[in-house]
Structure 1
Amino acid sequence: MARTSGILLPVFSLPSPYGVGSLGKSARDFVDFLRRAGQTWWQILPVGPAGNGDSPYQSVSTHAGNPAFLDLDLLAEEGLLTAEELAAVPAGDGRAVDYPAVNAARERLLRLAFSRADAHSRDEAAAFARDRRWLADYALYQAAKDYFGGLAWYDWPDEGLRRRQPEALERWGRTLERETAYQTFVQYQFQKQWTAMRQYANGQGVKILGDLPIYVSLDSADVWAEREQFLLDGEGRPAAVAGVPPDYFSADGQLWGNPLYDWDRMRADGFGWWIRRVERAGELFDAIRIDHFRALASYWAVPAGAETAKEGRWQTGPGMALVGVLTSWFPHLRFVAEDLGVLTPDVEELLRASGLPGMKVLEFAFSGPDNGYLPHNCVKNCVLYTGTHDNAPIASWEPSAAEAAYAARYLDAKTPEELRRRMLLAGQTSVADTFIAQMQDYLGDPGRTNVPGTAAGNWRWRMTSGAASDALADEIYQLTLDAGRCPPRNG
C-alpha cells in the first residue's frame, strides 16, 4: 500500500460567512489546500443531523445529512434564495459555531428555498427518495418529531405511530405530507451538494475518510423504524445502554446511553441492517473509520438508569461474522478500525483476523520505549495520528511530567514550537502506511474539537478564514514529500 497522509477537519470547522462550514466554496477551497499540501485524505466526523449536545455522534439518523452543512450560495445560484436573504444570515465570530443561531437561520432559509422549488425539483427529490428506503422513514420521523414539539419518538402521544402500525403510518403520512416533502427536499439538496463536493475532491486526488459511529441514538429514525434490531422493551426503552469503562479520559468511564444491538437478531438475517448502513456510507465516503471497533469484539453494557459507566460489564460482540460480511460486500471501500481504549485479547485477535489497519496515537505514546504507539514501534498496517478529535491539539496537549520529559528527549524538542513540529515530523516519517494530523496541529492552534465526558462547549471549533494559506500548504507539502507520502508536483 502506498504511503499517504491526510488532515482531520470536521465540515463544521470550515470557514464560511454563514456561521458554520458548508459543502460549497469553503469545502472546495480546503480541498485545494489539501491538494497543494500533498495530502491524500480529508478525514471528517459524522455528517448526520446533530443530536444532543450538538454531537455528530448522537445523530437522529445514521443515513441523513446535516441540513446545517447545506451551502446557501449554491441554493442562491439555483434561484431558491436571494442575495438580500443571505446578507441577513448571522456570520458568527468565525471562531466557534453558534448552533442555535445557525440552526434557526438554516431552518428559515431552507423552508424558503423549498417553497420556491419548482415541480421539476420536487419530482427529482421524490425520485431520490424512492431509491432510498431510509429516507421515507427519516422524513416521517423528523416531520412527526417537529409536529410533537421535539418529543422523542417513544414519547409521541399516538401509540400507533410509536409502534409503526400501518394504519397510523398511512394516516400521519397524509397529515404530514407537506412536511415529509420538505424533509425529502432537504436531503435531496444535501446529496446533490455532497456528490458535487466529493467529485471535486476526487478529481483533485483527495479522498474522503468518513466516520461510522458504532452506535445510533435511541431517539433516532433508525431505532424508530427498525426497533427490532435493538435490545428494547415493549415501550421502546432499553434495559441496558452503551458506554465504556473507566479509561484515560474519565475515572467513571463514559456513559453514552445509546441502545445496544440485538446481535442474535442481526446475525439471523445476515446483518442486513449493517449492509444498508454501510451502503449509504459508501455514497458519501471513499473510506470509513469504524468508530469504537472494540465493541465488535466485546462491548460494555451498562444497566439503564446507572449513574456512571462503572456499573457495566462486558458482553460478546459479533466479531468476524459482521466484519467479514462488510469487507466482502464492499471490497471497494477501505475500512479503518478505531481500536483505541481498553484493549483485550479478543479485540487484538479480531483486528488481526480482519486485516484492517488499526489506529495509533502519538499523544498516548510517551510512557516509555516499549509503548506500541511510538514511531519506532509502529507497524505499517496502521493509521498513525498526532491525536484524534477526542484529543487536545499539540498546542494545548497536557501530558504528565514524566510523559513530557520523555517526549522532549525522544523528539529532541526544547520548546513547545519544536515539540509541535517534531511530533508532526515523527508521524510523517514513521513506517505507518497512513499518517493523519488534526488541522489545529499544523496551524499551531490550541482549540479543541471535543473533550470526552463533558456535555457543553464541544463540536464548535472553527478554522479562521485565510488560515489554510498557500505558505502553510507548501510547508506541509515539503514535509510530506520528504517523508515519501506524496509524489513531486508536476512542473
Structure 2
Amino acid sequence: MTIQTVLTKKSLGILMHPTCIPGGRLCGTFGRGAKEWIKKLHKHGIEYWQFLPLTPTDSKGSPYSSPSSFALNPWFLDIDFLIERGFIFISNKEELGPTNNNKNYFNFEEADDLKKKLGRLLLQGWSSQSQERKLDFHKWNSENSWVEDYATFIAIKEEFNMLPWWQWPQEFKMKNNKFLKSWINKKSEKILIEKLIQWHLDEQWRTIKNFAKIYGIKLIGDLPFYVSRDSADVWSNKSLFSIFKNGDLIFQSGVPPDYFSSTGQLWGSPTYFWSRHKRTNFDWWRKRFKRQFELVDLLRLDHFRGLAGYWRVNGYSKTAICGKWINSPGRTLLNKLKNDLGSDYLPIIAEDLGVITSDVEKLRKNFELPGMKILQFAFDGKEDNPYLPKNIKGENWVVYTGTHDNSTSISWWESLDDLNKKRIKDEYNFSENPSLSLIEIGMKTNANLFITPIQDILSLDDSSRFNIPGTTKNNWRWKLNRTLEEIENDLRTFSKLGNDYGRTRK
C-alpha cells in the first residue's frame, strides 16, 4: 500500500529563522534578503526552508510565547518594500535610527521601537493612499476576523504599560464590548496602526511565499501546541481555555517529573477545555490551522503528544508533580483538518521528541505524519537508543543534527568526554570537523528529509546558539553577520554532501 504522507522522496532542508537573514535594518525581514536566501537554496538543490513561528514574540523574544496565534511579527516588516510601494518615502529612512548590519545579535527593544516608528509613518501616509488600496485593506480586514481582537489587545496593552490582560482594569479585562466600543473609537488611530502593520506583513510574506514557489522551495513553519495566557487568543476566547474570567488559571500545562527534573516542568499556559472546542466543532483550532496553512507548505506541530493526551496541573500548583494525564480528541481534530484541506495527507510534521507513549505513536502513524529524530540525542552508548541512525526505521522521518533548542553540533561535540568521542569516532569515522560529520550521518539515514540549522553548516559554536531552554536571557537574538555570498562555499559543501547521498534536487 502506498503511504499517503507529505514527504515522498529524499531531500534536504536548512533551519534558519527569518530574523537571522542578513540585510535587514536590525534583523532579517520579509524583503530582499529572504528572496536572496530562497535563490541560494534553489541554486544548491536544497528544497526546504524551515523556521520558527512567524508570530509576534513575548518580551523575551520567544516566538513560542506569542500574544497571537494568527498575527505576524512586526520585526519582519521590510522598509524597502514599503518604500517601493509608496507607503513611506525614502527620506523617512533618516527617522528610523541606525542599522545593525555588522552585529551577530539584534536588540529587541530597538526592534520594537522601529516597529512603532514605522507604524506612525504608515498612519501619516494612509490618508493619501488610493481608494483601491483602501478597499484592499478593508477587504483583508473582513477576511481576517482575528485582526480586530489582536489590534485592540495590543492597543490596550500599550495603554497599560504592557501589563498582562488579567491586570487591566475590570472593563478591559472582562472584554466589556459596550465599553470597549467607545474606547476603540477614541483610540482608532492606534488600532489602525496595528491593522496596517499586519496587512503589510501579510502582503510581504505572501510575496515571499510566491517567490519560494517559483523557485521550488517549500516552507516549513512551526506551531506551538499551547498558546500564551497573555494573548489575544485567550483574552477574546476565555471559555475555550482553562481559566477563570478574571484570568486566574484553573488548570495549567506542563510535563510530569522525569530524569531531568524531579518536579517536572510548569509552562504556565492554560490547558484547553476540549469539551467546549468539540461543541464549537473545533472552530478556533480549524481557523488557527487554516491561517498557518495559508502561510507555509508544511507545519511542524510542537508538543504533538498533546493531541493524544496532556499533563494537566492545577492552576495554583507551584510544581508539576501533582498533575494528571488527560486524553485529547486529537484524532477527531486531525480528521476535521484533513477534510478541510480536501487532501489525502496532512502537511504536518509531528514533534514527537522525548518520552512518547504508544497512544501518541499510534496517532502519528494513523495519519502518516512524519516524526522527528535528533542525532545529538543518539550517542549515549545504549544500543536501543531510538535516535541512533541504525534504529531509524522507515522513511517517514525528519532527521536533524539538532534544533533551535540544542547546542550547535560543534559545542555538542566539545561537551562530550574523551571516551564518548573515541567511541563515536571509531564507529562513525568522524572527521576533523564534527559538525560536518554529524551532517553526513544524517544524510545517510533512510529518512526522507534531513534538516540542519544554518549554524551547523557554518560549523559555529554556542556563541551562535539560538535558544537555551529554561533560560530567558540572550535567547533568540542571533543573526548572521556575514552576507549570503560570504557563506556560499559552506552551502556548496553542504549541497555536495547532499548530492552524494541523493538528496539534492537536480
Which of residues 373, 376, 391 is equivalent to 2:390?
Answer: 376
Match of 1:54 in 2: 61
TM-superposed CA distance for 1:301, in Å, is 2.1
Question: What percentage of aligned pairs have identical amino acids?
Answer: 35
Q: Does 1:475 align with 2:496?
A: no
Task: Give deviations 1:35-56, integer Å, cap 9, x for gaps.
Answer: 1221111001001111141110
Segments of structure 1 that go 5 or more residues without pairing to the other structure are: none
Whole-Å separation in 2 of the counterparts to 1:100 and 1:239: 33
Higher mean alpha-carbon deviation, 4-13 vs 475-484, is at 475-484
Residue 81 of structure 1, CA deviation: 3.3
In structure 1, the residue matched to 2:350 is 337
Which amino acid counterpart does residue 348 of structure 1 have in structure 2? E
Q: 1:265, CA displacement in angstroms?
A: 1.0
How many residue pairs were aligned?
485
Comparing 227-236 with 285-294, which one deviates more in the overlay? Answer: 227-236
- Per the TM alignment, residue 251 of structure 1 is displaced from its structure 2 partner at its CA by 5.6
Q: Which residue of 2 aligns with 1:27?
A: 34
Q: What residue number does 1:99 align with?
A: 108
User: Which residue, out of 69, 81, 88, partners 1:81?
Assistant: 88
Q: Answer whether contact 2:378 2:388 (CA < 8 A) is retained.
A: yes
1:112 aligns with 2:121: yes
From the superposition, tell whether residues 47 and 251 of structure 1 become closer, same or farther in structure 2 (CA, over 3 Å): farther
Cα–Cα, structure 1 residues 45 and 289, in superposed 2: closer, same or farther, change >3 Å?
A: same
1:19–1:94 Cα contact (<8 Å) kept: no
Report the alpha carbon displacement of residue 185 of structure 1 after superposing the two structures with TM.
Answer: 0.6
Provide the rounded CA distance (Å) in 1 between the counterparts of 2:350 and 2:386. Answer: 16
Displacement of 1:414: 5.3
Contact 2:308 2:328 in 1 (8 A): yes
Aligned equivalents of 1:407, 1:361: Cα separation in 2: 16
Query: Higher mean Cα deviation, 235-244 or 43-52?
Result: 235-244
Q: TM (normalized to structure 2)?
A: 0.91
The reply on whether 1:269 has 2:280 as its aligned counterpart is yes
TM-score calculated relative to the size of structure 1? 0.94
1:145 and 1:82, CA in 2 relative to 1: closer, same or farther beyond 3 A? same
| Counterpart for residue 4 of structure 2 | none
Would the alpha carbon gap of residues 345 and 110 (structure 1) be closer, same or farther in structure 2, given more than 3 Å must change? Answer: same
Q: Greater shift after overlay, 110-119 or 380-389? A: 110-119
Q: Which moved more, 1:179-188 or 1:402-411?
A: 402-411
Structure 1's 122 and 158: CA in aligned 2 closer, same or farther, altered over 3 A? farther
SS of alignment partner, residue 266 of structure 1: helix
Q: How does 1:147-162 map to 2 (within 5 A)?
A: 147-159=159-171, 161-162=172-173
Superposition pairs of residues 33-432 of structure 1, within 5 angstroms: 33-87=40-94, 88-92=96-100, 93-117=102-126, 118-120=128-130, 121-159=133-171, 161-246=172-257, 252-331=263-342, 334-367=347-380, 368-378=382-392, 379-397=394-412, 400-401=416-417, 403-413=420-430, 415=432, 417=433, 419-432=434-447
Task: Please state how far the C-alpha of 1:322 moved relative to its aligned partner.
Answer: 1.7
AA at the equivalent of 2:385: N
The change in CA–CA distance for 1:103 and 1:166 in structure 2 (over 3 A counts) is: closer
Code of the residue aligned with 1:243 in structure 2: it is G
Check the 8 A contact 1:12/1:20 in 2, yes or no. Answer: yes
Cα deviation, 1:403-454, whole Å, max 9, x if unaligned, reads 5444323321253x1x211211111121001111001010111211110011
User: Structure 2: how far apart are the matches of 1:400 and 1:253?
Assistant: 26
The one-letter code of the counterpart of 2:146 is: W
Q: How far has the Cα of 1:249 moved from its partner? A: 6.2
Query: What SS does the corresponding residue of 1:309 show, helix, strand or coil?
Result: coil
Matched with 2:3 is: none
Do 1:140 and 1:176's aligned partners in 2 also have CA atoms closer than 8 Å? no
Task: Say whether the 8 Å CA contact 1:223–1:230 is kept in structure 2.
Answer: yes
The CA RMSD measured in Å over matched residues stands at: 2.0
Which residue of 1 is the match for residue 467 of structure 2? 450
What SS does structure 2 have at the residue aligned with 1:397?
helix
Counterpart code for 1:260: T
- How far the C-alpha of 1:311 sits from its partner, in A, is 4.4
CA deviations 1:47-88 (Å, max 9, x no partner) are: 111114111001100000111101111112223334444355
1:53 partner letter: K
- Can you give the 5+ residue segments of structure 2 that lack an aligned partner in the other structure? 1-7
Bigger mean CA deviation after superposition, 248-257 or 406-415 = 248-257
Deviations 1:91-123 (A, max 9, x none): 235201211112112211231122112343444
Q: Give 1:345 deviation, angstroms.
A: 2.1
Deviations 1:126-172 (A, max 9, x none): 2211111111111111122222222222222142x333333123222
Q: Deviations over 1:318-358 (max 9, x none)?
A: 23122222233225551110001221222222222222111
Letter aligned with residue 211 of structure 2 = Y
Q: Alpha carbons of 1:2 and 1:426: their partners in 2 closer, same or farther (altered >3 Å)?
A: same
> Are the aligned partners of 1:148 and 1:156 in contact in 2 as well (CA < 8 Å)?
yes
- Partner of 2:284: helix, strand, or coil? helix
1-structure distance, mates of 2:244, 2:71: 26
Question: Which residue of structure 2 lines up, in the alignment, with residue 484 of structure 1?
Answer: 502
**Conservation of the 8 A alpha-carbon contact between 1:122 and 1:185:** no
